[in-house]
Amino acid sequence: MNLPVNKWPGALSLAAILFFSATIIMAQSSSAGPASNQDVQDGGFRPLFNGVDLSGWVIPEGDGGHWKVLDGVIDYDAMSQAPGAKDLWTRDEFGDFVLRLEWRIPETPFVNPNARIIRPDGTYQRDAAGNPVSIAVPDSDSGIYLRGTSKAQVNIWCWPVGSGEVYGYRTDASMPAEVIAGVTPSVFADNHIGEWNSFEITMTGDRLTVELNGIVVIDNAQLPGVNDRGPIALQHHGRMVDGEWVSPPSIVQFRNIYIREL
């Protein structure tokens, strides 16, 4: 209908306006909001996080309550008291899968003076003397460990290259150039600090694809030697000395974590 509003019959004008307004709101909600539980379940996904507690996850021994559930999200302040590894692991192991989750960095209390400019081939930008160029950025740092190994980490951080890169493979000089380039994000797709982001991570064999906020940033990258199966972890990062952060802390939140095994 192309008639202007002032030419609709009076009895229909309000109904028509309400109808079209509701249609617009519904369209915006369906395109911008996270999938409902029913939609996810219908797609063969199952939750890894129930939104209430950390059932199904292995809390680091001696953690002291720093990995916790707060207002329906997994909230971490990067201050685990565990004497050993401080990452949060799933109890279950997975082989091929599609993992969906949302994450956000609430704040960046540490300024990293040694962030690097990463070129599309995965190498660092260098100055005239051949040294890697360092830049200072407000930085928090976490990631998703795949198949039981920190080397296969889909990174979450504030470097200019963006989240989604596989740091352990990109920085492994023994890897072929095409592997290093493949695990380097093709585009910066992070939302602003404090805003929620979405990952869709697909592992099939030794191949990885990462979508960040609906944009493919890693496309069918090869991870040579990656484990066939293993648990998934949410990464701890950062260290505090005398009340001051000396490396980027994993001040991070996670929600809506679902997996579909392939």
CATH code, domain carrying 191: 2.60.120.560
Residues 60 and 22 in one domain: no
Instruction: List all residues 6 or more positions away from 19 whose beta carbon is below 8 Å from its beta carbon.
Output: none
Residues 246 and 138 in one domain: yes
3-class SS shares of the chain: helix, strand, coil, % to 5: 15, 35, 50
Contact 97, 203 (CB under 8 A): yes
Whole-angstrom distance, CA of residue 216 vs CA of residue 225? 23
pTM assigned to the model: 0.84
Contact 199, 101 (CB under 8 A): yes
Among 211, 252, 196, 251, residue whose Cα is nearest residue 34:
196
Number of Cβ within 10 Å of residue 238's Cβ equals 22
Residues 41 and 160 in one domain: yes
pLDDT at 215: 98
Whole-angstrom distance, CA of residue 253 vs CA of residue 234? 10
3-state secondary structure at position 182:
helix
Residues 103 and 21 in one domain: no
Residues 39 and 28 in one domain: no
CA 10 to mean position of chain CA atoms: 51
Residues 1 and 65 in one domain: no
Whole-angstrom distance, CA of residue 108 vs CA of residue 137? 9
Residues 11 and 72 in one domain: no
Contact 136, 113 (CB under 8 A): yes
Residues 223 and 201 in one domain: yes
Residues 28 and 39 in one domain: no
- Domain span at 26: 1-33
Residues 147 and 24 in one domain: no
Residue listed under structure tokens 């990462």? 210
Find the length of the chain. Answer: 262
pLDDT tens, N- to C-terminus, the chain (262 residues): 443 333 333 443 434 333 334 443 333 333 334 444 444 556 899 999 999 999 999 999 999 999 999 999 999 999 999 999 999 999 999 999 999 999 999 999 999 999 999 999 999 999 999 999 999 999 999 999 999 999 999 999 999 999 999 999 999 999 999 999 999 999 999 999 999 999 999 999 999 999 999 999 999 999 999 999 999 999 999 999 999 999 999 999 999 999 999 9
Among 241, 239, 233, residue whose Cα is nearest residue 251:
239
Tokens found for residue 50: 């129930």
| Number of domains observed in the structure of the chain | 2
Residues 29 and 39 in one domain: no
162: left (phi over 0), alpha (psi -120 to 50) or beta: left
Residues 84 and 68 in one domain: yes
pLDDT at 40: 56
